[in-house]
Structure 1
């Protein structure tokens, strides 16, 4: 058992030692975190960061919708952003959302107020992760709507960073090391609430037709091999798609243990119910190997892999 807990400051939030991460992961796999910390509010989080020893690793997470937690677990402190960080406020066409607000929730709340952030409706996860990964679909990315992000630095201080300093790129950003996204200010277009609601229903139906929405999955496993417009911004209109090169390499339906590349959409890595994190990551690496051998393309993971391998 780790002795990290005894070195952490007193907080108003909650500490949980040796916390099973599989219950939090969308893939339902993974080992324990040494300590899970659930801050009560931003002030509590600031006090924690100011008092946390610098040699203790920290990892902020939302709903764990885009990560494989390895079977050996996570050393240090996992910060679970939840209540106190999930507010959504709309004023005119501006929307401020807390880091733990679900993408779908933000899209719905905005649409009800006549603001078009509908691209968020089908993106799994929370707004904090969406900023970190520059999430997007249907040709729109977070980089297109973010005005500024409120960030808490590793030392506990809060800064506001404008969008042009966040380093947005294809499926990535350049947040400071150890920083925690607190909230994001976004600007959407005007729209009729009923029209926006119908648009989101169409998107959900389209997704259900082509993606295994009822399976244990984190969505797209690998980034599309190409993905930049002439201005350097992410662009969803690619000549080359990850699913296509995976399919061409014969990896649709490929399995390892309880993991499978979805027969419905071969860029979706799925836990059939018995997979370990090692099965999932191992299958992903096998797909990368086969695609490289078949087409010379080196796929890049979109899903984060965190923690230690079992027995490490």
Structure 2
């Protein structure tokens, strides 16, 4: 049995994860670690045997945890990692919610309005190169502070993060603790008005009141997954799914949203297996009807079944 370090933060064995994800599915983490602060995280990773896998987890807004749970250690940042301040750049703790980072920036006359409707954290926005309304994390992140898998601290500049469409290439096992955003100046009242309009548009077109994990599949050719007006091409994942006749299609307790067919819903007590199976069914049907093989945007992680 692996000997675990003794941190100052909370370390729980066999911690259920379903209640920590927006889809409310999945098995437990072998271990869930919630560090007290950055020094605690660094010491823990330094002492953790190098063969133990590490998975940083935000608020679970873009995640399917499979029914067998996640091997190794899931690291979830909380208090102490969720503050936002302005020091030339907008500096956000990795656990700060995107909507709160956008609001705090606007109050200071800094424009990070693209983050307002993204359902996640600043750290997750970096990991997924999250974006909306034509702006992505890659356009605004100056650098990140991270604890590497061996426990060393690092400042990683924008060009070292490996940003790509809806993804990044951070070092394996690295845990982002802080994000520095290069945010343009703007009038606070105008920024707040813009965000209010964005929220209204989102609520009108997306199933924001339902149990989803955001956009399920990436758009072919790398265009915006929410399908805003003004995109340079009309090739959207939701249109391909709709064209395949899968709007509202259900398997077990999983369903493609009737409101926006690129949102996979847990509408009736679905398991992770049912959600993933429906997603794969959608991918096959879309490939058969359009020739486009959709790529998952939602992260799927873990074992399909629990170990004996």
If the length of structure 2 is used for normalisation, what is the TM-score? 0.95
Match of 1:125 among 88, 98, 120: 120
Match of 1:64 in 2: 60
CA distance in 1, matches of 2:64, 2:174: 21
Gaps of 5+ in 2: 225-229
Residue 226 of structure 1 aligns to a residue whose secondary structure is: helix
Q: Distance in 2 between matches of 1:198 and 1:106?
A: 16
Contact 1:149 1:181 in 2 (8 A): yes
Distance, in Å, in 2 between the alignment partners of 1:243 and 1:9 is 46
SS at match of 1:90: strand
Contact 2:69–2:306 (8 Å) recurs in 1? no
| 1:112 lines up with 2:114 in the alignment | no
| 2:104 is aligned with 1:79 | no
Q: Distance in 2 between matches of 1:152 and 1:311?
A: 30
Q: Are the equivalent residues in 1 in contact too, given 2:143–2:180 (CA < 8 A)?
A: yes
CA root-mean-square deviation: 1.4
1:41 — aligned with what? 37
Q: Could you say what secondary structure the match of 1:189 adopts?
A: coil
Match of 1:11 in 2: 7
Alignment correspondent of 2:284 = 289
Q: Indicate the SS of the match to 1:279.
A: helix
Q: Which runs of 5+ in 1 are unaligned?
A: 230-234
Cα distance in 2 for residues equivalent to 1:46 and 1:61: 16
Counterpart Cα distance in 2 of 1:284 and 1:32: 22
Runs of 4+ displaced beyond 2 Å? 235-239
Size of the alignment, in residue pairs?
302
Distance (whole Å) between structure 1 residues aligned to residue 6 and residue 121 of structure 2:
27
Counterpart of 1:310?
305
Offset at residue 311 of structure 1 (A): 5.0
**TM-score normalised by the chain length of structure 1:** 0.94
Distance 1:86 1:237 in 2: 35
Q: Give the Cα separation in 1 of the matches to 2:163 and 2:282.
A: 27
Q: Give the counterpart of 1:178 among 173, 179, 187.
A: 173
**Offset at residue 197 of structure 1 (A):** 0.7
Q: What displacement does 1:198 show?
A: 0.8
- Aligned pairs for 1:240-255 (under 5 A) are 240-255=235-250
- Helix, strand or coil at the partner of 1:86: coil
